A = this chain, B = another copy of it.
């Protein structure tokens, strides 16, 4: 298998990206193609002892920056690592795309270069949702679209379920629709219709999930529109940060507290680690006709390594084909619902 790694994407490119590739390469037998400015990437690679048969460099002279407008960037920067790399996937020269670069540009690049899977109306960004003391959930959509119709939510739930099952190896994952109550009749027009559609889908749909239950890991796949997904992810981040800040402040307030904090140093460190999901790797851009994994822009070598390794089953288990096969069933659900409406 050939992994195509965007050597220029993310805040720490190419330094941490190349280091991550070298670390991953030591643990897997697949080839990694790092796409980007050859001189920079080779200079980084020269710092390490690695297997030259397993890590190769593909030159691309341009870089898509985080500030770039996605559509313009993909259209104009034809020799960027992103466009060159995605074309390798398209031409069968690569099997898995991994990047920490401009997320919007990855979504647009996927759509324009690889195309959408037949029958999928809206590609979605998935995101890893950390569950304290347990394995993470997958949230779809994390922000590719800010408004979603019922059939989009059906697509998100189905694709998310297949990903968690086939890539994370979690059998029969629970899929929940974020809503303001457990009852089928709660919520917006879109969530009410989506509830019906998801109930008919070939997945383990467990019904509505209230936001209160999400952090406890009530479901494996959290389905919501991109606006709500963004709110869930950002609020979790902001609140966790604020609570940790408060802990720090309280635990340094007074001698007695400081003594206690010394005894609890390891535990406090462990707690902080619970919020660190770099070990889970990246999350997929679903609905694109090719396996694409994006990771956080601030990813360091360890996250890059994990994203590569944990992404392999996405290509190896041919999940894209499984999603394509499921589409026929979804189309029937959508047609039936629309006729009834």
Contacts and interface: CB of A to CB of B under 8 A. Distances in A.
Interface of A: 132-133, 143, 146-147, 178, 180, 186-189, 210-216, 226-228, 230-243, 245-247, 249-251, 253, 256-257, 259-264, 266-267, 270-271, 274
Nearest to A187: B146
Contacts of A132: 242-243, 245-246
A235 B247 contact: no
Nearest to A267: B250
Closest 9 CB pairs of A and B: A260-B263, A260-B264, A212-B238, A211-B234, A211-B235, A212-B234, A215-B239, A180-B230, A250-B267
A238 B214 contact: yes
A238 B251 CA distance: 23
A132 B211 CA distance: 20
Contact of A267 (B212, B257, B267): B257
B271 A247 contact: yes
A262 to B, nearest CB: 7
Nearest to A259: B263
Contacts of A228: 227-228, 231
Given A211-B238, A228-B227, A238-B213, A271 B259 contact: no
A181 to B, nearest CB: 8
Contacts of A180: 143, 146, 226-227, 230-231
Contacts of A231: 178, 180, 211, 228, 231-232, 235
User: How many copies of this chain sit in the oligomeric assembly?
Assistant: 2
25 contacts: A133-B246, A133-B249, A146-B186, A146-B188, A180-B226, A180-B230, A210-B230, A210-B234, A211-B231, A211-B234, A212-B235, A213-B238, A215-B241, A235-B236, A239-B239, A247-B247, A250-B264, A256-B264, A257-B264, A257-B266, A259-B260, A260-B262, A260-B263, A260-B267, A264-B264
B235 A235 contact: yes
Nearest to A262: B260
Given A132-B246, A247-B271, A260-B267, 9 more contacts: A133-B246, A146-B180, A147-B189, A212-B234, A212-B237, A250-B270, A250-B271, A251-B264, A256-B264
Nearest to A147: B188
A271 B244 CA distance: 11
A216 B238 contact: yes
Nearest to A239: B215
A267 B251 contact: yes
Nearest to A190: B147
Contacts of A246: 132-133, 271, 274
Contacts of A259: 260, 263
A251 B266 CA distance: 10
A226 B189 CA distance: 14
A235 B180 CA distance: 11
Contacts of A249: 133
Contacts of A257: 263-264, 266-267
Nearest to A228: B231
Nearest to A229: B180
A242 B226 contact: no
B243 A240 contact: yes
